Chains A and B, each alone.
Chain A
Amino acid sequence: GAVVSQHPSWVICKSGTSVKIECRSLDFQATTMFWYRQFPKQSLMLMATSNEGSKATYEQGVEKDKFLINHASLTLSTLTVTSAHPEDSSFYICSASPSGQGRTEAFFGQGTRLTVV
């Protein structure tokens, strides 16, 4: 149990276009999900906290207008990279913990590799 799935696994887009990444908790509900970004040979960096039914909370230095987050249900959060540029090319990963089950460990999606050309 406790599976988190991301889609797509990889995407290539043209500079200036927008890309949507989905994060789904397949067998549990999550009121809160988290989005990370990882550049090559670096560690994961927390970008934002996605809250079901309310606005996301962004970490310092992350542009909320560029990285749009929507958490419309207890099993789905989406991250949209708007007007993507080559410097947005990165590995994007989401995580969640089951709500109300007393479990404190995080479960991660498989990640989405974004390449902007």
Chain B
Amino acid sequence: DAKTTQPPSMDCAEGRAANLPCNHSTISGNEYVYWYRQIHSQGPQYIIHGLKNNETNEMASLIITEDRKSSTLILPHATLRDTAVYYCIVRVAGGNQGGKLIFGQGTELSVKP
């Protein structure tokens, strides 16, 4: 699986958009970009994933650059409950290995009032 690079920490004001970057310059053509987050002392939570097109769901938007070497997770209106560690993971989709993930250090997002 391709290696990802994320800033170790970020701050965001409550109600503003949180933009979390991720670099994955060695991503392969069949690898997807997945985002998960982990709120303190809980199991990780799936947020969103994509291959090359931008994706949006009820939680967030995922913007992937045209060359697929980087992506940005956007939380449009951050709340205090969005304070968590956010992990960007690239991997091949499919099969029964969906739960097998190699976690980096992630970005610790602090949403402040």
Interface residues, chain A, with chain B CB atoms under 8 Å away: 4, 6, 30-34, 36, 43-46, 49, 91, 93, 95-97, 99, 103-111, 113
Contact = CB atoms under 8 A, between A and B. Distances in A.
Main secondary structure of the interface of B (DSSP, over half): loop
B101 A106 contact: yes
Given A91-B41, A111-B41, A105 B100 contact: no
Given A104-B93, A106-B46, A95 B99 contact: yes
A109 B43 contact: yes
A103 B32 CA distance: 13
Interface of A is mostly: strand
A68 B43 CA distance: 21
Contact of B98 (A46, A97, A110, A113): A97
A110 B104 CA distance: 20
Contacts of B100: 32, 34, 46, 49, 95, 106
